[in-house]
Amino acid sequence: MKERIERLKKLTYIPQNDIAWLIEQAELSVKQQEIIEENKRQQEVTVHQFRQAQKDIQHLSGDRKRYKQALEKIITNLNFAIQVAQNELDGAAE
């Protein structure tokens, strides 16, 4: 490819097939640039989605911790209520 470019630079008259090749290369370059730009855009979207997912996970982890603590308090209170009821039943049976 470099050889062909150097040869074209030296010509004052450029043959039709060389012009066609130049046009083809230019079109290919434009398509490649469009693909690169689209890939960058998709990468930015993916990074944004990943960061949002991280925030969601942190939020859900915090919710999970609060729910677990609340459930542990409920279980402790229920165990206490069961023990009180059991003591009352034991006292009534005596």
pLDDT recorded at residue 62: 87
pLDDT recorded at residue 78: 95
**What are the distances in angstroms from CA 88 to CA 75, 80, 92, 93?**
20, 12, 6, 9
Q: What share of the chain is helix, strand, coil (3-state, %, to 5)?
A: 95, 0, 5
Cα separation of 11 and 3, whole Å?
13
pTM assigned to the model: 0.52
Domain-wise residue ranges, the chain: 2-93
Indicate if the pLDDT at residue 94 is higher than 70.
Answer: no
Instruction: Please name the amino acid found at residue 1.
Output: M
Q: How many CA atoms lie within 13 A of 1 on its CB side?
A: 4
Model pLDDT for residues 5-39, shown as the tens digit of each residue: 777 777 767 788 888 888 899 899 999 999 999 99
